[in-house]
Amino acid sequence: MRRKLVVGNWKMHGSRPANAELLSALMAARPFALDVAVCVPAIYIHETAATLAGSDLRWGAQDVSQHAQGAYTGEISAAMLAEAGCRYAIVGHSERRAYHGETDQVVADKAQAALAKGVTPIVCVGETLAQRDAGETEAVVKRQLSVVIHQLAHCASEIVVAYEPVWAIGTGRTATPEQAQAVHAVLRAQLQAATGHGERMKILYGGSVKADNAATLFVQPDIDGGLIGGASLKAADFIAICRA
């Protein structure tokens, strides 16, 4: 049986006092019956690590460079994330694809760079509303994932996948449990065919998950938890999702 995982994506939110309050509430709410992690802005990773160290809560980054080191001003390498104890790095979030021009190949390179340093990439895939309306959802997510699978070859089973329909991110509009499950089933079949380990791999759902819709999503057979944006910033909401 796959253990569920809930990951908070703080995006570009937070401050030292707000983070301290949020993290201490999370610490106090333990234990959870599933794995819980927070992916925080890079500048807060060390402080987050210091707060969560020794607990069963994990932390991670929201991006990672595809390069190992060098003249890449502003970038952060997988080795640096590993040094800071990061368990996860989100790669290919739709905001990075849209605003930073990340292609499927760049996303695959980032996933490979993370894995090479022992950081688990949470690979995001998802269609836009126009693609869904055009009936292209399956083709889009399969294409996005296949580039990563191809690049990682025998290591592909080490990733976590997050299905995040672009039209549901930060919009308050959630995929119905049935819509999400249908795509998750497609992704799992693809992972199974490519790696032989699809049945044990985690596929998270992300897109306006809230305390009141988390349970109906997480109960779906191929939904192994969530990648949570807005609702991960409020301790009570995030804790409620972790308990859903």
Binding positions for ligand PEP, rule: CB under 6 A: 9, 11, 164, 169-170, 206-209, 227-231
Beta bridge partners, 58, equal 37
- Nearest Cα neighbor of 224 from 140, 162, 150 is 162
The CA distances from residue 220 to 133, 139, 188, 217, in Å, are 23, 22, 13, 6
Dist CA 24 CA 163 (whole Å): 29
- Please identify, using beta-carbon distances, which residue of 227 and 239 lies nearer to ligand PEP: 227
Provide the token pair at 89.
């790095």
Q: Is 46 a catalytic residue?
A: no
In the complex, least distance from residue 207 CB atom to ligand PEP, rounded to whole angstroms? 5
User: How far apart are CB 86 and ligand PEP at their closest, in Å?
Assistant: 17
Q: How far apart are CA 156 and CA 187, in angstroms?
A: 13
Q: Give the number of other CB atoms < 10 A from CB of residue 68.
A: 12
Q: How far is the CB of 39 from ligand PEP (least distance, A)?
A: 9
Active site residue 127: no
Cβ proximity to ligand PEP: between 3 and 234 the closer is 234
Q: Which of 95, 102, 127, 164 is catalytic?
A: 164
Shortest-Cβ-distance residue relative to ligand PEP: 229
Shortest Cβ 21–ligand PEP spacing (Å): 20
Of the residues 46, 93, 158, 178, which is catalytic? 93
Closest CB to ligand PEP among residues 194, 206: 206
Residue 229 Cα to chain centre, angstroms = 10
The answer to whether the CB of 166 falls within 8 A of the CB of 130 is no
Q: Specify the residue, 14 or 229, whose C-beta has the smaller distance to ligand PEP.
A: 229
As a whole number of angstroms, the distance between CA 157 and CA 123 comes to 12
Residues belonging to the active site? 93, 164
